[in-house]
Chains A and B, each alone.
With several copies, the nearest count.
Chain A
Amino acid sequence: MYLTDAPINPTALVQKVLRPSDGAYVLFEGVVRNHHHGKAVESIFYDAYRPMAERELEKIVREIEAKFPETALAVVHRLGHLVVGDSSIAIVAASAHRAEAFDACRMMIDRIKETVPIWKKERGPDGEEWVGWQGRR
């Protein structure tokens, strides 16, 4: 429901959430970029503990809906092999007023990066590496 192996369609996500009472929406997309910590990146493999990631995403959606009761939310995270320019995640927050849409969208991506069991292995000319593993022990 929140995870997909196919390219993300942000327009469809917006259509899913937008209501006639909404005066604004904010769409965030994370995109594979060609660098990370000074190293070149060519592609990323996204892995997940799928059922747990779905549950954690659902929890975050409910948590943020509770904080912003007038805001409608949607999120989808792509998994598998992505290349530079591909979107890995899309989040839409729609609300009557823009402040809530911005705040909810930003809180959503911040929270997702904290707890959802999704990982990425970056590949570049210097080899490949699971992000966040080295240096931690």
Chain B
Amino acid sequence: MRAMKVRLLFFAVLRDIAGTDERELTLRDGATARDVWNALRTEFARLTDYIDPPMTAVNEEYAEPDQVLREGDELAFIPPVAGG
């Protein structure tokens, strides 16, 4: 099974929960944002109840959480936005 590297960015409440701005992930080929979210739910108790991922962005564009990630992608979960 091949592996790929993906950069995961944390913002807002997720940065507070993760305690970091970003993390480099090594994922199996075919992994999706949903897979990454589920791994975070396992790692951080405060996320366990959040079964569905928040909005997902890949390379600074909104994307479907089940879209397959690719080598070098920049992934971010977007908690409910509150700009303005």
Same assembly: yes
Residues of A within 8 A of B (CB): 30, 46-49, 51-53, 55, 77, 88-89, 109, 112-121, 130-133, 136-137
* Residues in chain A near residue B79, CB distance under 8 A: 119, 130, 132-133, 136
Assess the B81–A118 pair: CB atoms within 8 A.
yes
Residues of B within 8 A of A120 (CB): 82-83
Grouping DSSP codes into helix (H, G, I), strand (E, B) and loop, the A interface class, with mixed when no group exceeds half, is mixed
Q: Given the complex, which residues of B lie within 8 Å of A52, measured CB to CB? A: 57, 60-61, 76
B57 near A117: Cβ-Cβ < 8 Å? yes
A136/B80 in contact, CB under 8 A: yes
A-B contact count, CB below 8 Å?
81
Contact in complex: B12, A121 (CB < 8 Å): yes
Beyond A49-B11, A52-B57, A121-B12, whether A88 also contacts B84 by CB under 8 A is yes
Interface size on B, as a range, is 20 to 34
B44 within 8 A of A: no
Interface centre among A53, A88, A117 (most CB of B within 10 A): A117
- Contact B60–A55 (Cβ < 8 Å): yes
Do B83 and A112 touch (CB < 8 A)?
yes
Find out whether the CB atom of A118 lies under 8 angstroms from the CB atom of B13: no
A interface footprint on B67-81 (CB within 8 Å = 1, 0 otherwise): 000000000101111
The CA-CA distance from A101 to B75 in the complex, in Å, is 37
Residues of B within 8 A of A55 (CB): 60-61
13 cross-chain CB contacts under 8 A: A49-B11, A52-B57, A53-B83, A77-B83, A89-B84, A109-B84, A112-B83, A117-B81, A118-B83, A118-B84, A130-B82, A133-B80, A136-B80
| A51: B residues at CB distance < 8 A | 60
Closest 6 CB pairs of A and B: A118-B83, A132-B80, A119-B12, A130-B13, A52-B60, A131-B82
CB < 8 Å neighbour of B51 from A130, A131, A137: A137
Q: Which residues, 9 to 30 on B, are CB-close (under 8 Å) to A?
A: 9, 11-13, 15-16
